[in-house]
A = this chain, B = another copy of it.
Amino acid sequence: MPELPFTLDQLRILKAIAAQGSFKKAADLLYVTQPAVSLQIQNLEKQLEITIFDRGGRKALLTEAGRLLLEYCERILNQCDEACKAIEDLNSLKGGTLVIGASQTTGTYLMPRMIGLFRQKYPDVSVQLQVHSTRRTGWSVANGQIDLAIIGGQLPGDLENLLQVIPYATDELALVLPSNHPLSNKKELLKEDLYKLNFVTLDSQSTTRKVVDKLLQDSGLDIQRLKIEMELNSLEAIKNAVQSGLGASFLPVVSIERELAAGTIHKASITDLEVKRELKVITNPSRYTSRASEVFKKNILPKFACLESPLRQL
């Protein structure tokens, strides 16, 4: 290795001697023997071709070259200390950035609360939330742009193997009706009743929409027969449409908590049908897991997992 003319240890010794005014005291301070100090300074002087200390009298005094070197020495060692502190902070979550991915739904209704809790506990870690489609989120996790994500849809097959996919919680996609809708009074609807409704849905590209369609189809319904009043691309818009009496919809329960509490929207049960999807936490096991990501997974996620299903091991 093309050699550096000095080592950090030598600088540390230099600094100690300058501070103590003595080789011996410096040695004591650094818990080494006096010859070790002497030899290192000699090495330093040899390599830099300068004399650093005047060893004449009782005190070891810096020469001009020594003072010059000491100046740099202090700056360098300070930088080293700072680096250590920064790294320590990162380790103890007093710094750094956590990048979280989510779909529209979880990103809008779930993540803000989670991130809020996380930031409350670790206010020095900045958190970035990226809302994308399931597909794109998956790829971002794969190539390390996102540390951790929650998805509600199906990953492309190749990613399924590459990533660690952990079932996290069950998200019910509730059938919601305008509160004044005639069917709101019935305790339980039947699947057949769905054909009588006008639906306001997400556009057909959306993951949630695909999930709903698939579940309905799997349950034996002919989704072609369902009447779709309109397709909107925002859950909020759909909620408003439903509240305005324009139609019914399947919406994630997490997105309508407020409206249910306020009674402005009605959640209907269907006797022989449950529309539920698994929310999954995905991470990339082949990549470095930041401490922040680890903590988020271990300490924050479980606090919100009790949406409907029991906690899952993370």
Contacts and interface: CB of A to CB of B under 8 A. Distances in A.
Interface string A70-86: 00110110011011101
B87 A76 contact: no
A244 B138 CA distance: 91
A4 interface: yes
A9 B2 CA distance: 10
Given A72-B79, A73-B83, A80-B76, A91 B5 contact: no
Interface in A46-70: 48-51, 54, 56, 61, 63-65, 68-69
Interface residues of A, number: 46
A60 B20 CA distance: 44
A144 interface: yes
Contacts of A56: 286-287
Nearest to A97: B64
Q: Within the oligomer, what is the number of copies of this chain?
A: 2
B5 A30 contact: no
A86 B83 CA distance: 24
Given A51-B288, A288-B54, A90 B64 contact: yes
A76 B83 CA distance: 9
A80 B4 contact: yes
Contacts of A96: 64-65, 68
A40 to B, nearest CB: 10
Nearest to A79: B76
Contacts of A1: 9, 12, 30-32
A232 interface: no
Given A72-B80, A75-B79, 17 more contacts: A1-B12, A2-B30, A5-B84, A5-B87, A6-B8, A6-B80, A7-B8, A8-B8, A54-B144, A54-B288, A64-B290, A65-B87, A68-B95, A69-B83, A76-B79, A76-B80, A76-B83
What are the 8 closest A-B residue pairs judged by CB atoms, nearest first?
Answer: A72-B83, A51-B288, A63-B288, A76-B79, A56-B286, A48-B87, A54-B288, A1-B30
7 contacts: A1-B32, A4-B80, A50-B87, A64-B90, A65-B90, A69-B83, A72-B83
Interface of A: 1-2, 4-9, 12, 30-32, 48-51, 54, 56, 61, 63-65, 68-69, 72-73, 75-76, 79-80, 82-84, 86-87, 90-91, 95-97, 121, 144, 286-288, 290
